[in-house]
Amino acid sequence: MTAPKAHALPTPMVVGPKTATHKVAMPDTVPSQDRIRERAYELYESRGREPGQEEQDWLRAEQEILRRKQ
């Protein structure tokens, strides 16, 4: 299976004053790449392992996981 294209992650938010020691916090709504990959593979298997829909599987997996976090 060809790995799906990497999707850009949300831009981190700067917390506190903008100095050389500022902290960066990632939103907790960013799903784990490993979890998305696992779910995308499950979708691929459920379709009978037919190639050609890797990107659709990845996007659907990402949406499903994001919906669960809300």
**pLDDT, tens digit, 9 for 90 and up, residues 30-52:** 668 999 999 999 999 999 999 99
SS3 31: coil
pTM exceeds 0.85 for this model: no
Best CA proximity match to 40, nearest among 70, 7, 9: 7
What are residue 13's DSSP bridge partners?
25
Residue-wise pLDDT for 13-34, tens only, equals 555 555 555 555 555 656 689 9
Alpha-carbon span 61 to 41, nearest angstrom: 9
